[in-house]
A and B are shown apart, each in its own frame.
Chain A
Amino acid sequence: MTTEGSAFRARRPQDWLEDYARMCTIRAFENQVQRLAAGGEVPGFPHLSTGQEAVAVGVSAHLGDGDSVYTGHRGHGHALALGSDIEATLAEILGRESGLCAGRGGSMHLVDAARGLMGATGVVGGNLPLAAGAAWAAQSRGTDRIAVVYFGDGATGSGVFHETLNLAALWKLPVLFVCENNGYAEFTGREEHSVVQHVSAFATPYGIPTQTIDGNDLPGVYAAAGVAVRAVRSGSPYLLECLTHRLSGHYVGDSQQYRSAEELAAARAKCPIERLRKSLIAEGIGEDQLNRLAEIAQQSVTTASDRARSAARPDPRDVMDHVYSSQDIVAALRCSA
Chain B
Amino acid sequence: MSQTFIEILRRALDEEMQRDAAIHLLGEDVAVGGAFGVTRGLVDRHGTHRVRNTPISEAAITGVAIGAALGGIRPVLEIMFIDFATLALDGLVNQAAKYRYMSGGQLSVPMVVRTQSGAAGGAAAQHSQSLEAWLTHIPGLVVVAPSSPMEAYGLLKSAIRLGDPVAFIEHKRLYSMREEFDASAPLPNIGVARIARAGTDLTIVSYSATVVDALQAAKVLALDGISAEVIDLRTLSPLDMATIGSSVSKTHRVLIAHEAVTQGGWGAEIAARIGDELFDELDAPVRRVGCPFAPIPFAPELERALLPGPETISATARALCGKG
Contacts and interface: CB of A to CB of B under 8 A. Distances in A.
Contacts of B50: 140
A159 interface: yes
Given A140-B73, A166-B55, A326 B190 contact: yes
Nearest to B139: A323
B100 A126 contact: no
A123 B70 contact: no
Interface stretch (A130-138, A216-224, A254-262, A281-289): A130-138
Contact of A138 (B71, B107, B164): B71
B34 interface: no
A244 B235 CA distance: 49
Nearest to B68: A133
A325 B100 contact: yes
A167 B70 contact: no
A1 interface: no
A58 B136 CA distance: 43
Contacts of A138: 71
Nearest to B52: A171
B103 A129 contact: no
Interface string A111-124: 11100001101110
A68 interface: yes
Contacts of A135: 67, 71
A323 B100 CA distance: 6
B51 to A, nearest CB: 12
A68 B69 CA distance: 12
Contact of B72 (A101, A141, A147): A141
B310 to A, nearest CB: 29
Contact of A134 (B68, B108, B164): B68
Interface in A157-205: 159-160, 163-164, 166-167, 170-171
A130 B70 contact: yes
Contacts of B70: 68, 118-119, 130, 133-134, 137
A205 to B, nearest CB: 14
A147 B68 CA distance: 11
Contacts of A122: 94
A322 B100 contact: yes
A249 interface: no
Contacts of A167: 54-55, 57, 60-61, 64
Given A133-B68, A332-B192, A113 B103 contact: yes
A133 B67 contact: yes
B205 to A, nearest CB: 14
A78 interface: no
Interface string B95-106: 100011111111
Interface string B232-261: 000100111110000000000000000000
Contacts of A170: 55
B94 A123 contact: yes
B129 interface: no
B104 A104 contact: yes
Nearest to A106: B102
A265 interface: no
Contacts of B99: 119
A90 interface: no
A109 interface: yes
A312 to B, nearest CB: 14
A164 B65 CA distance: 12
B71 to A, nearest CB: 3
Nearest to A136: B68
A147 B163 CA distance: 23
A170 B57 CA distance: 13
B55 A163 contact: yes
A109 B102 contact: yes
A122 B238 CA distance: 27
Contacts of A163: 55, 57, 59-60
B62 interface: yes
A130 B59 contact: no
A286 to B, nearest CB: 42
Interface in B166-188: none
Given A121-B94, A132-B60, A322-B104, A328 B190 contact: yes
Nearest to B74: A137
A99 interface: yes
Given A166-B55, A322-B101, A130 B140 contact: no
A321 to B, nearest CB: 7
A129 B91 contact: yes
B239 to A, nearest CB: 6
Nearest to B70: A118
Contacts of A336: 238-242
15 contacts: A101-B104, A105-B102, A105-B104, A111-B106, A118-B71, A119-B99, A121-B95, A122-B94, A133-B68, A160-B63, A164-B64, A322-B101, A322-B105, A328-B189, A329-B191
Nearest 7 CB-CB pairings of A with B? A133-B67, A129-B63, A137-B71, A332-B191, A102-B104, A163-B60, A130-B67
Given A130-B95, A326-B142, A329-B238, 5 more contacts: A113-B103, A123-B90, A133-B69, A326-B164, A335-B240
